[in-house]
């Protein structure tokens, strides 16, 4: 376990704070619990880790000197979280940073009982820890981190999904595929509840494989990100064909009620009922999408396989720095939610947010920047199109009026889904050239987007 200078300092501060809290608990329990109540802390105790429980219980029963429990304060909880982040970053651990909280607690618990005299002296000597034995602390940490790493494994996940107008097994990328469901694997009660809560029955699993050994929680986190990105890429590619070609419905997505009604009348004693049966039209053209999807992948350097690099990259445990692919992921989340949104105002907000995630950075004139870069992403062989720029202006203005409450009855005379889908497809193409895996891109990526017209001209002349 690598400990930076800052990590060592935080460990000393944590031990001092836990000693202070322990002393308060021993000497004035009323003041201790009053502080806990005012801080709204729910988890206060640090118990013995599993491998020390039997030994510590025996010491406690035999009245052998020991610290059977340590007690958190708001400050010690914050220090624990900070240490988890530092150790996670410095040791490149394939887990979530918050998973290290319990390991940090186990380290300080074991060390406090190893260095009992110094802890007790700290409790009575102005709460300053004079002699933390960093070497011993590091040995305890290394052993516990190594034990934790032995739990790391490769994982495979199956997420239920409803696929429309398709019935074959399909490998979408190296580690992601669609598998028809033969059995849900739920017991009868669970299956009954699952079906009752979803109008559309799941007929496929999205299979996601995590090839890098990592913790179960990180594996689930990565698989979940890749799952959402895959769903939203399929929606994006489908809506380039038609807004009514949505190819899937995830098991967690809100499905619209088919039957609705309302009552009306001149008074409550004489009311009539109007019943509305709504047909789900979002999936009408999905059969054409799947046909085009399979045929399109036969073309060399096709957009489909290029797009599926995005969820594949999201399966890799990454460093703490944001990559370009995470910006694309955020954009796709907004877009995937927008295309099935039934409220027009909310749909516009989500569509614009999906574009802003890729074109707007912390710059002064966001409106002009939005129009310019959206226009650049829609460049064609004849150059930039003023019609595209005007559509970007209309879309952004309508969104602004909706957000700021000045919208009365805004209308767009073009399909915003079609416009945004074309823009995002262009963004995926150009950002693949820029580099999906790049980090520290907040200066270079805006410059790259602004110079797309120059690149397009150069590409044509080569």
Each residue's pLDDT tens digit, 42-84: 778 899 999 999 999 999 999 998 889 999 999 999 999 999 9
Q: Report the C-alpha gap between 50 and 92 in whole angstroms.
A: 25
pLDDT for res 98? 95
State yes or no: pLDDT of 311 exceeds 90: yes
pLDDT for res 249? 84
What mean pLDDT do residues 206-215 have?
96
Residue with the bigger pLDDT between 189 and 347: it is: 347
Least confident of 246-250, 279-283, 316-320: 279-283
Q: Which of 19, 6, 207 is nearest to 108 (CA)?
A: 19
**Digit-coded pLDDT (tens) for 336-354:** 999 988 889 999 999 999 9
Domain spans, the chain: 5-149, 153-301, 318-462
Strands 176-180 and 204-214: antiparallel
pLDDT for res 263? 86
**What's the pLDDT band for 217 if we cut at 50, 70, 90?**
very high
Tokens of 182: 């033969």
**Digit-coded pLDDT (tens) for 398-435:** 999 888 877 667 788 899 999 999 999 999 999 999 99
**What's the pLDDT band for 462 if we cut at 50, 70, 90?**
very low
State yes or no: pLDDT of 279 exceeds 70: no
pLDDT for res 244? 85
Contact 314, 222 (CB under 8 A): yes
Q: Measuring CA to CA, how many Å separate 136 from each of 62, 89, 139, 445? A: 26, 22, 5, 46
**Digit-coded pLDDT (tens) for 385-402:** 999 999 999 999 999 988
State yes or no: pLDDT of 313 exceeds 90: yes
Q: Which of 131, 144, 121, 125 is nearest to 8 (CA)?
A: 131
> What is the rounded average pLDDT for all residues in the chain?
88
State yes or no: pLDDT of 458 exceeds 50: no
State yes or no: pLDDT of 151 exceeds 70: yes
- Helix, strand, coil % in the chain, rounded to nearest 5: 55, 10, 30
What mean pLDDT do residues 431-447 have?
94
Say what angle helices 386-403 and 416-434 make with each other, to 10 degrees: 110
pLDDT for res 452? 93
Beta-bridge mates of residue 213:
none
**What's the pLDDT band for 460 if we cut at 50, 70, 90?**
very low
pLDDT for res 382? 85
């Amino acid at each position: 376990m690598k400990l930076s200078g800052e990590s060592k300092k935080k460990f000393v501060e944590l031990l001092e704070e836990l000693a202070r809290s322990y002393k308060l608990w021993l000497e004035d329990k009323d003041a201790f619990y009053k502080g806990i109540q005012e801080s709204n802390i729910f988890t206060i105790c640090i118990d013995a880790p599993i491998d020390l429980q039997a030994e510590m219980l025996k010491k406690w029963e035999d009245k052998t000197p020991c610290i059977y429990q340590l007690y958190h304060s708001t400050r010690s909880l914050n220090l624990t979280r900070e240490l988890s982040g530092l150790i996670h970053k410095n040791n490149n651990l394939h887990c979530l940073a918050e998973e290290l909280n319990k390991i940090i607690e186990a380290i300080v618990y074991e060390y406090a009982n190893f260095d009992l005299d110094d802890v007790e002296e700290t409790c009575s000597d102005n709460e300053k820890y004079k002699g933390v034995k960093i070497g011993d602390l590091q040995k305890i940490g290394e052993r516990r981190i190594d034990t934790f790493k032995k739990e790391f494994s490769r994982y495979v996940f199956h997420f239920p999904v409803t696929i429309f107008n398709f019935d074959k097994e399909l490998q979408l990328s190296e580690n992601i595929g669609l598998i028809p469901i033969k059995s849900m694997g739920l017991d009868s009660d669970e299956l009954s509840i699952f079906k009752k809560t979803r109008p559309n029955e799941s007929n496929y699993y999205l299979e996601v494989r995590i090839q890098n050994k990592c913790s179960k929680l990180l594996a689930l986190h990565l698989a979940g990100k890749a799952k959402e990105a895959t769903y939203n890429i399929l929606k994006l590619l489908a809506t380039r064909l038609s807004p009514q070609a949505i190819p899937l419905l995830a098991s967690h997505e809100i499905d619209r009620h088919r039957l609705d009604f309302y009552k009306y009348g001149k008074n409550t004693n004489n009311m009539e009922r109007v019943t509305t049966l709504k047909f789900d039209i979002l999936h009408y053209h999905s059969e054409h999408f799947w046909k085009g999807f399979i045929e399109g992948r036969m073309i060399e350097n096709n957009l489909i396989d290029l797009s599926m690099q995005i969820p594949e990259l999201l399966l890799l445990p990454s460093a703490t720095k944001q990559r370009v692919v995470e910006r694309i992921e955020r954009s796709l989340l907004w877009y995937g939610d927008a295309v099935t949104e039934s409220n027009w105002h909310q749909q516009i907000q989500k569509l614009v947010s999906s574009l802003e995630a890729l074109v707007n950075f912390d710059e002064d004139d966001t409106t002009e920047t939005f129009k310019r870069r959206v226009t650049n992403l829609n460049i064609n062989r004849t150059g930039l199109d003023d019609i595209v720029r005007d559509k970007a202006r209309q879309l952004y203005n309508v969104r602004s009026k909706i957000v700021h409450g000045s919208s009365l009855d805004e209308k767009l005379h073009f399909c915003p889904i079609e416009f945004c889908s074309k823009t995002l497809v262009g963004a995926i193409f150009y950002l693949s050239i820029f580099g999906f895996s790049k980090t520290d891109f907040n200066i270079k990526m805006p410059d790259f987007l602004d110079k797309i017209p120059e690149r397009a001209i150069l590409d044509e002349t080569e």
